[in-house]
Chain A
Amino acid sequence: MSERKRFNVLEHNLVPEHKLLTKEEADEVLRKYRVKPYQLPKIKASDPAAQAIGAKPGDIVMVVRKSSRAGIAYAYRYVTE
């Protein structure tokens, strides 16, 4: 239809900010909550938002949610196949 650039889903109003964590940051999260990675909520590697930030299985993604209760809330998702 057009040569427009593919729409970046991260710009959508419904999509909160996704951030790929470095190994150190990821370990910090796991330590803080005392969990194994698989105990975190998950996100598929094929998820449009995960693809947009280039997350691969095994990574941990930080989601910065706009919260109507706290202002900002952080959540983490473990990337799975």
Chain B
Amino acid sequence: MAMSVTEEVGRQISAIKFGILSPSDIRKMSVVEIETADTYDEDGVPIPGGLMDGRLGTLEPRQRCRTCGNTAATCPGHFGHIELAVPVVHVGFAKIIHELLTVTCRDCGRILLPDEKIQEFKEQMEAYRESSGEIPKTFFEHVKREAKKNPDCPHCGRPQYPIQYLKPTTFQESLETGGSITLEAAQIRTRLERIPDEDLRLLGYDPTSARPEWMVLQVLPVPPVYVRPSITLESGIRSEDDLTHKLVDIVRINQRLRECIESGAPTLIKEELSELLQYHVTTYLDNETSGIPPSRHRSGRALKTLSQRLKGKEGRFRMNLSGKRVDFSARTVISPDPNLNVDEVGVPIEVAKKLTIPEKVTAWNLEEMKELVKNGPENYPGAVYVIRPDGRRVRLEFVAERQKIAEDLKPGFIVERHLKDGDIAIFNRQPSLHRMSIIAHRVRVLPFKTFRLHLAVCLPYNADFDGDEMNLHIPQTEEAQAEARLLMQVQNQIVSPRYGAPIIGATRDFLTASYLLTRNDTFLTKSEVGRLLAEMDYDGEIPPPIRSHPEPLWSGKQIFSLLLPKDFNFIGKASICKHRHTTLDEECPVDGIVEVRDGVLRRGIIDRNSIGAERPDSLYHRIVKEYGSAFAQDFLNKLCRILNSFINMRGFSYAIDELEIPKEAEEKIGAILEEAEGSTRRLIEAYRLGALQRVPGKSLEESLDLHIMNELSKARERCDRIAESCFGMDNQGAIMTRVGARGTALNIGHMTACLGQQHVRGSRIPLGYRGRTLSHFDWGDQSPSARGFIKSSFHKGLSLTEFFFHAMGGREGLVDTAVRTQQSGYMQRRLIHALGFLKVEYDGTVRDTDGNIVQFKYGEDGVDPAKSDHGKAVNVQRLVDRIKGRGTRGKPITPESLEEELKAFEDRLPPLLIEELRSTILSAQLSSSAAKAVIDKAVEEYEIAQVEPGEASGIVAAQSIGEPGTQMTLRVFHFAGVREMDVTIGLPRLIEIVDARRRPSRPIMTIRLDEEHRKDREKALRIAQDMVHTKVKDLMKTAQYSVNLEENSVWVELDEEAMKARGITYEQLMEAIQIPRTSVSIEGGILKIKSQDIMEEGGLRKLGTRVVNCYVKGIPGINRTQVVWEDGEDYKGWFIQTDGSNLAKVIQIPGVDPSKTYTNDLYEIQEVLGIEAARNAIIKEAKEVFEGTGGGMDVDIRHIMLVADIMTQTGELRQIGRHGVSGEKTSTLAKAAFEITVPNIVKASASGDIDELKGVTENIIVGQDMPIGTGLVDIYMSPSGMMAPSDEKSEEIG
């Protein structure tokens, strides 16, 4: 039997070269010259020589192309051309033309550089090519700058005149006589023609693919009709494409101009027409050119011409090239189904009948396939197409006798059959922020119309069921299916590469159920146990019942234990346990210590901390790591099934009366609120009297707000605690929050105790222009209730004003979410474009597409976070415990022999791991054989955890940073810190970091002091005081100085308090004012500067301005300081925190410890401490964003490191975005797909760039496999192996 190889030999595009079409190229590729400005005649037939000429291709379905004879479906389309009556400047190149005109001679065309200089530059170019492989952009800039300097041509000696470029397409040359003339396009063209090829190369242009004179158009190509199809409306009216409209204009004006020229019309008319032609050609190319009005449609809509077709989100690049429409996909609403397996997706029958899989007919499935063909497309399990070995497709829908086709079926045929259970499908929910947004599931064909999925996979998809829709894709080839099965299935996605812990785990009601099941007072009867165990297909032995009277009863813990592997050991804490345990051996009042020994749950409640998602080092995480993800998936499946049926048996609901709290508690809450109101009254009183303590850096009003908010939030927290204490574990709401199933204690507090302060822009509800929040209050009322404090709870109900304030706060929340998604979405896009092309090479380095090294070892230890254990390759402690548990007794290994053992692995393991092994093994007192076992296992695990070559480490990093960005709150309030400095945190700060912004929005320094000064607060304060940048105006009591004409002096009233706060004495101040011919004195708190010259008022005012701007002391940039106590490991003592930053100056101050002084201004660090320090600073700052307030995000440091490394790769900080990393990419297509589409393409064609299609984006654009991950490898199979004699029943290759 002959095997037919249907796979086509892949044709690869290896590179794309950009260039400019020469007039002769255009004529050569043209099939027709367009001379008529019309499209169709009255009968709707294209006019020959018109814009719809049949030779350009045909739009009618059954007509044949007049050039190639193909029908519309197969004809590729053919270009025509227009001979322009006069040359016309191409707008895109206008800037380049101007540049060329200014750097070359107007007479001889040579570059305006003497021969020696040319030689010198040529050598430099050669040197660059040698040393860096490419010539930096700055070099050409430099050449051009040099050339511009010459007033005369060094070659022919003729004088040069400056040429002015008037946007968009006019060039004016100054004349000797003064004045200027406009250069005609024809003149420009002849000048450009004269530039020799050699000189162009020196300027960075490639004369073979882009002669400059081609930038002035003589011939205009006319695109085929398929590019600008005309559409027939229902009414029968033909409507032309925008491009056709524009071309009509061009042809019309062109014809008129030609006639004028031929008939010798006056120059004025000719000039006017040429200008009009220029306008039309310009708008045809780009209808958004600044300086000219856009060309409009009759209806007034601006036309969408060539540039507009490419640009932007809806443009060709982003809409059609970077993202493509696909077949074999479906989309519908999703709904939950706990009866499904985690790795399954429920597909409606209707969908299953439309989506097909091509299956080869073999001897083994022949009968089955026949059956499917007989059923046809209408009946479920059926088939839609049959493909014969000769390639003919039979559409079963149109076949009368399917029976006959079925009979004809033979091995070698392909049947495109309906989807059936067990097929592989790729499931996806947008926005696809990380790789777990696309997971492969096994198909389960089900009735009804929604896709169904298991609840455990909602978290990675971020899906809920309030109307969400999802997409399903069916991989068609065996190769694609195998890849999906092996790499994309649910079990392969359990561990998130973002933090190396499970992202798929039990959620919501599963956790509630798990708590209820594993509670000590849960007992199950025999029939209940039977039901639960049947649910998980348990066929092992049932443990003896825990009680036998009055009937045999089993505990929930026993049932849970049956799920665990027999050799599993674990000890940890449950979520419900808030108890502060000193050791895990201690008894817990709420049964919060989870202990599993030999696969039996001895004690402890199983809740979110044990089986939930996003919890590192949980029981579930241990199972994933130690028993593999396939086992873990099965475990989760069975667990969820048991829990589901258990909670169905028991029932669970949260009733409204469970929100009621006892009277005493209510009274207590009332008292607390009253007390808080009292203290706010006192604060307001103090504010009125002016006795309120001001918060540094804040106005008095802001300080009041801050103090009140602090007071009230403390009160609300106390209320919450009281409410919380009212509810025990018999309250369903409390169960849910404490177990981690849903909600927080805060939510319960809101429902039962008190809603608390509502915020707008981080502060209390503002008084507004009219001085009050609502007309229910007095003017200027500062009381809590008038400024948005809600005393009621949701259960009690809100008063009218409270309701309104709540709505105000709620609205802000909505706006915040909307703004945040946009911001983080854009950040994500930039990260993906900046990092997308990075991959791990076979030598473990991370490199870009040009082979430049970004990291020498991925993540510094080469460990893949997705294969790591919460970031670490090996969990040494766990490993030691496990091996110790096996009970190999013996004399503890001596440090010396351990050293010996470890030495052998010095170059295989990272130093940190060796160190950890050493200390853990020694403290565990392992025997020497056990120690050896531990080390061997550690090496094995470490090597397994290494990243695989080809891994798209850049994309993973970008996703791992971008995805949590969406979850971060935009604005975070912090009340605890009345004293703290305001720092930008959360998403805005993260964006600031990846933007590599020149100056952070809130520069802050942490200044550590030397031994002497850190111990003494007074000394620290003095340094801090001296640092504050002070001018005379900072010490003024009034806003203005005054002028005293009588005494001929300027008076400045001094603010004694400010003087004291900044530690400035009169003497210092007087010394600081050094203005010649003046005398300075201070009398009665007034600084007087007397001028020795008699001056008018104006002169004195000038002097006054000079005085107030006099520098007194401090460091520029430092606005405010604060002395804070730090009690850290490597620093103990006072340090200074500043608002404002100036690292270079601060580290020179005596008393400062420069080595521990720090700023959050990345550029300052780069300038003062260098690029490596900047790299560390990026890592440190980004880490703080994720870990700090408003963050709480778990992100592996390797991802942050990769971002820092690419930002500092060139030795200078580069932004993640078009002005940095993305803008410096070598690929033109990748740059065009990112942001500045048209200029990038124009630039590439002028310099004749070649895109080698090595990156990811480029290959997606041209529709090829990308050279990353599985796209990097090919499968080769030798035909001799395939044709081997079939008598051997060896493994068949599917």
Contacts and interface: CB of A to CB of B under 8 A. Distances in A.
B860 A7 contact: no
B1170 interface: yes
Contacts of A58: 131
Contact of B1173 (A14, A36, A67): A14
A18 B912 CA distance: 21
A68 B1197 contact: yes
B863 to A, nearest CB: 7
A40 B853 contact: yes
A40 B912 CA distance: 26
Interface stretch (B113-121, B481-489, B1045-1053, B1205-1213): B1205-1213
Given A14-B1176, A49-B1171, A69 B1198 contact: yes
Given A1-B1148, A38-B133, A14 B910 contact: no
Contact of A49 (B861, B910, B1169): B1169
Interface in B1141-1197: 1147-1150, 1154-1158, 1165, 1167-1173, 1176-1177, 1180, 1197
B1173 A49 contact: yes
Contacts of B1168: 9, 48
B1263 interface: no
A14 B1158 contact: yes
A33 B854 CA distance: 12
B132 A38 contact: yes
Residue of B1165, B1168, B1169, B1176 with most chain A CB atoms under a 10 A cut-off: B1169
Interface string A1-25: 1101001010111111010000000
Given A14-B1177, A42-B1209, A69-B863, A4 B1171 contact: no
Given A43-B1171, A69-B1198, A33 B856 contact: yes
Given A2-B1148, A69-B860, A48 B1210 contact: no
B915 interface: yes
A47 interface: yes
B850 interface: yes
B1274 interface: no
A21 B363 CA distance: 67
B861 A69 contact: yes
Contact of A39 (B852, B871, B1172): B852
B556 interface: no
A76 B856 contact: yes
Interface string A23-43: 000000000011111111111
A39 B850 contact: yes
A71 B861 CA distance: 9
A65 interface: yes
A33 B1150 contact: no
B911 A70 contact: yes
Contacts of A67: 860-861, 910, 912
B1208 A7 contact: no
A42 to B, nearest CB: 4
Nearest to A9: B1169
B857 interface: yes
Contacts of A13: 1155-1156, 1158
Interface in A53-77: 58, 63, 65, 67-77
Contacts of B133: 36, 38-39
Contact of A15 (B857, B1173, B1198, B1212): B1173
A58 to B, nearest CB: 8
A62 to B, nearest CB: 10
Contact of B1150 (A4, A14, A40): A4
Contacts of B1176: 14-16
Given A41-B853, A43-B1171, A70-B912, A77 B860 contact: no
B801 interface: no
Most buried by A among B871, B1156, B1171, B1209: B1171
Contacts of B1173: 9, 12, 14-15, 49
A44 B1211 contact: yes
B1212 A44 contact: yes
Nearest to B1177: A14
A69 B871 contact: yes
A64 to B, nearest CB: 10
B1198 A1 contact: no
A36 B851 CA distance: 9
B1211 A41 contact: yes
A9 B1144 CA distance: 11
A49 B1170 contact: yes
B860 A33 contact: no
A4 B915 contact: no
B1149 A41 contact: no
A68 B552 CA distance: 55
A43 B860 contact: no
Interface size class of B (residues with CB under 8 A): 35 or more
A68 B1157 CA distance: 21
B911 A72 contact: yes
Contacts of A70: 857, 860-861, 910-913
A2 B1150 contact: yes
Nearest to A11: B1155
B859 A69 contact: yes
A60 to B, nearest CB: 12
B729 to A, nearest CB: 40
Given A2-B1148, A41-B1208, A73 B1171 contact: no
B1033 to A, nearest CB: 24
A61 B774 CA distance: 67
A28 B144 CA distance: 39
Nearest to A39: B852
Contacts of B863: 69
Interface string B128-144: 00011100000000000
Interface string B908-921: 00111111000000
A40 B757 CA distance: 55
Contacts of B912: 67, 69-71
B910 A69 contact: yes
A38 B910 CA distance: 28
Contacts of B1205: 41
B843 interface: yes
Which of B1148, B1173, B1205 has the most CB atoms of chain A within a 10 A radius of its CB? B1173
A35 B851 contact: yes
Nearest to B850: A39
Nearest to A73: B860
A60 B1156 CA distance: 28
B1245 interface: no
Nearest to A57: B131
Contacts of A49: 1169-1173
Contacts of A36: 133
A7 B853 contact: no
Nearest to A77: B1211
Contacts of A18: 1172
B1025 interface: no
Contacts of B1208: 41
Contacts of B845: 33
A9 B1170 contact: yes
A55 to B, nearest CB: 11
A15 B1169 contact: yes
Nearest to A2: B1150
A57 B1075 CA distance: 47
13 contacts: A1-B1150, A4-B1150, A9-B1170, A13-B1155, A13-B1158, A33-B843, A40-B852, A40-B853, A41-B853, A41-B1208, A70-B861, A71-B913, A77-B1211
Given A14-B1176, A39-B850, A41-B1209, 20 more contacts: A2-B1148, A4-B1148, A9-B1173, A12-B1154, A13-B1158, A14-B1169, A38-B852, A39-B852, A41-B852, A41-B1205, A49-B1172, A69-B912, A69-B1197, A70-B911, A70-B913, A71-B910, A71-B915, A74-B856, A76-B856, A77-B1171
Interface of A: 1-2, 4, 7, 9, 11-16, 18, 33-44, 47-50, 58, 63, 65, 67-77, 80
The 6 closest A-B pairs by CB, nearest first: A71-B912, A49-B1170, A71-B911, A70-B910, A70-B861, A42-B1211
